Structure 1
Amino acid sequence: MVIELKNLEKVYKGENSPAVHAVNNVTLHIPSNQIFGIIGKSGAGKSTLVRLISLLEKPDSGEIWYDGSRVDNLDSKQLIARRRRLGMIFQNFNLFSSRTAEQNIAYPLEISGTPKAEIKKRTAELLELVGLSDRANSPISKLSGGQKQRIAIARALANNPDILFCDEATSALDPQTTHQILNLIREIQQRMNLTVVMITHQMEVVRDVCSQVAVIHEGRVVEQGSVEDIFIRPKTAVTKDFLLRISDSQEEENGFVRWSRDGGQYELHFIGDKTDSTTLSQLAKKFNLDFNVRAGGIQSIQGKKVGKMLVDFIGESSEIEKAIDYLRKNGVEVEKNGSNT
């Protein structure tokens, strides 16, 4: 399911406060059968944007298209029918505490008039899909955070949606559970050929599960592209700030180790087979300069190895320039003081 957003606008007008331009002229292409990330800080407009895309609110102007059909102008009956083919996962799970796990999954099927026998079969399938077949009759209060989110995922899939929206779906979970839930969403996306829209403020979530990403700031899309490009060649200060927010402990867990807090004037990125190359060794032989490695490591982005290294080059500026040119010609990305070199 391809999603097209064309010049979306949404303004909230307060009686005693200034108007908030939550979504400001957003045009976006979300490809079919991928996990697409929308990342932004608190107040950036990403939650409002997802409410518009998922038809929970109408835009003040602009258009929303699903697979070539406009959907923001549907009448009430058509809108209800279209919403039933959308799945939503939320940060706080939004489960009914008065219902068991199985009954929570059954709820959207009940309100759509599905026969009881079919509901029983479908809930059993979904419980197995999320790995909780033995928890069908468990009260929600007896489930862990990760189990609650698995039930929420199963409920979101009950009506066989063609689009799945995840609004900060892992923000309330610990790192290990987050990793498990992201793996589950990725497996479900591949199995069901879903278009998944992942809304988050966590850059590590984008790195681990998304194929493409849009960065939202003050209601606008300030940058978009493949996850690999965004991580290796960020263009805006907003995106670079997100990358800096990945904590040292998370970086170390993903193979990045910093053994010096000083220096690191240049950031080098080695992509794919370049992570196994002897480029730096050759660099030292070819040019009259020294280099000091401050940090380094290799992580996986979309299944591709990406090495990152922080270094200082010591020598004449002309030699450093030649060395940087050599690195670039040999497929190594070089960044200095926040600007691409």
Structure 2
Amino acid sequence: MEIILKNLNRTYVQKETKVEAVKNISLIIPSNKIYGIIGKSGAGKSTLVRLVSLLENVDSGEIYFDSRRVDNLSKDELIQQHRRMGMIFQNFNLFSSRTAAQNIAYPMEICKVPSAEIKKRVKELLQVVGLSDRGDAPISTLSGGQKQRIAIARALANKPDILFCDEATSALDPQTTRSILELIKDIQKKMNLTVVMITHQMEVVRDACDEVAVLNEGEVVETGKVSDVFANPKSEVTKDFINHLSSNAADKNNSGEGIVRWSKAGGEYTLHFIGEQTGSPVISSVCKKFDIEMNIRAGGIQMLSDNQKVGTMVVDITGDKAEVEKAIEYIRSQNVLVELSEGGKQ
């Protein structure tokens, strides 16, 4: 299901002060994809997902699911629409008084689904999330990752068209986060879901999303395919997210690849390689062609969710100014993005 947002606005009043949480946001979230919405704390991403999931009303603007406008539904229509959407939260929001299976069953009980059908669907979903043997387990006996798997199963109970994930991995350790993201990716493909993933973690976008919108102070500052955004970030907010991710030596993806910085000094330029360029001898060639020296401060390759490789290298380039400029021009001619590491293109 495609989601279309047109000029959404939402303002709150806090202690007699107006806060514009969402400012004139327009987006097209494609059908059957995992779409990331990323922003720092206070960027407006949680407000946006509450608007898109119809949990709050917009002050102005329009929301469409496919070609149907949904921000002006009647009470009964809204209830029916909510049943076609699943929601996963950071803190799981499970009933501690119910077993794992009973938590999954709850949305179907509300919809008065026959008990035999509920039992069958619960069994099926426990298998989908890899917890077939934990249906009778009290919630208190489950690990954080298991609780989130049960929350995912519950969100899928009524066979939704859209799955919203609001910071769904923020409370989990890195290894568990990767396993949950792999599960969501697998479910999305098998069930042809549109998944909207709200996060402040760039590694979540890298590892799971097809496309991304970057929010800052209630506005969209950048959108695009994840591979394009990683290879050529345009906004300072996006660059900051990627640079923070790149400078984290402990960050590794499933292939054991990642960015390692072995020198905190220097690093005037950041080079971004994409696809086949990650394996090309660009650095060797430029050092042979021009009278310059290059000191590599950090480097590595990250694998995106579509198996596209994006390489990042932080370097110093020294030599005569004219030679340095020629070297940078040559590197760019090899389809490598060159930026000043403090932001802004050279």
TM-score by length of 2: 0.95
**Structure 1 counterpart of 2:3:** 3
Give CA-to-partner distance per residue, 1:11-38, whole Å, 9 cap, x none.
1124x43011111111111011110001
The reply on whether 1:333 has 2:337 as its aligned counterpart is yes
- CA distance in structure 2 between the aligned counterparts of 1:280 and 1:290, rounded to whole angstroms: 10
Distance between the aligned counterparts of 1:33 and 1:199, measured in 2? 16
Deviations 1:258-278 (A, max 9, x none): 221111111112211212212
C-alpha distance in structure 2 between counterparts of 1:235 and 1:75, whole Å: 41
Local SS of the residue matching 2:187: helix
Contact 2:249 2:258 in 1 (8 A): no
Code of the aligned partner of 2:327: A
Structure 1 gap ranges (5+)? none
Residue type of the partner of 2:280? S
Q: Which residue of 1 aligns with 2:323?
A: 319
Give the CA deviation at 1:338.
1.4
Counterpart in 1 of 2:36?
37
TM-score with structure 1 setting the length: 0.97
* Deviation at residue 281 of structure 1 after TM alignment: 1.4
After TM superposition, give the deviation of residue 251 of structure 1 in Å.
5.6
- Matches of residues 64-79 of structure 1 in structure 2 within 5 Å? 64-79=63-78
Distance in 2 separating the partners of 1:332 and 1:19: 44
- 1:236-290 per-residue CA deviation (whole Å, 9 max, x = no partner) reads 2222222233233216963322221111111112211212212221111211111
1:267 aligns with 2:266: no
- Structure-2 separation of matches of 1:307 and 1:234: 13
Kindly provide the CA deviation profile for residues 57-82 of structure 1, in whole angstroms up to 9, marking residues without a partner as x: 11011000000110001100011001
> Could you tell me how far 1:228 is from its partner in structure 2?
1.6
Aligned to 1:249: 250
Aligned-residue CA RMSD (Å) = 1.3
State the alpha-carbon separation in 1 of the partners of residues 300 and 89 from structure 2. 34
- CA offsets 1:40-62 (integer angstroms, 9 cap, x no match): 11111111110000011110110
Distance apart, 1:101 and its partner CA? 0.3
Query: What amino acid sits opposite 2:196 in the alignment?
Result: V
Q: Secondary structure at the match of 1:334?
A: strand
Aligned to 2:92, what secondary structure does the other structure show?
coil
CA distance in 2, matches of 1:31, 1:175: 28
Q: Distance in 1 between matches of 2:302 and 2:241?
A: 17
Of 245-254 and 265-274, deviating more is 245-254
State the alpha-carbon separation in 2 of the partners of residues 186 and 71 from structure 1: 26
Q: Output aligned runs, 1:101-116, within 5 Å.
A: 101-116=100-115
Does the aligned pair in 1 maintain the 2:11–2:19 contact within 8 Å? yes
Give the letter aligned to residue 79 of structure 1.
L
Unaligned runs of 5+ residues in structure 2 are: none
User: Does residue 238 in structure 1 map to residue 241 in structure 2?
Assistant: no
**Alignment of 1:50 onto 2:49:** yes
Letter in 2 for 1:286: K
Structure 1 residues 254 and 17, CA gap change in structure 2 (3 angstroms) = farther
Listed as ranges, the matches of 1:1-341 within 5 Å are: 1-14=1-14, 16-246=15-245, 247-250=248-251, 254-301=257-304, 302-336=306-340, 337-341=342-346
Alpha-carbon separation, structure 2, partners of 1:122 and 1:10: 38
Q: Deviations over 1:156-213 (max 9, x none)?
A: 0001000000000000001110010000000000111110000011111111101111
Q: Does the 8 A contact of 1:251 with 1:257 survive in 2?
A: no
Letter in 2 for 1:299: Q
What is the CA–CA distance in structure 1 between the aligned matches of 2:132 and 2:264, rounded to whole Å? 49
Task: Report the 3-state secondary structure (helix = DSSP H, G, I; strand = E; otherwise coil) of the residue aligned with 1:63.
Answer: strand
Count of aligned residue pairs for this structure pair: 340
| 8 Å CA contact retained: 2:98, 2:139 | yes
Q: Point out 4+ residue stretches in structure 1 off by more than 3 angstroms.
A: 251-254
Shift of 1:100: 0.4
Aligned residue for 1:19, secondary structure, equals strand
Aligned identity (percent) is: 64
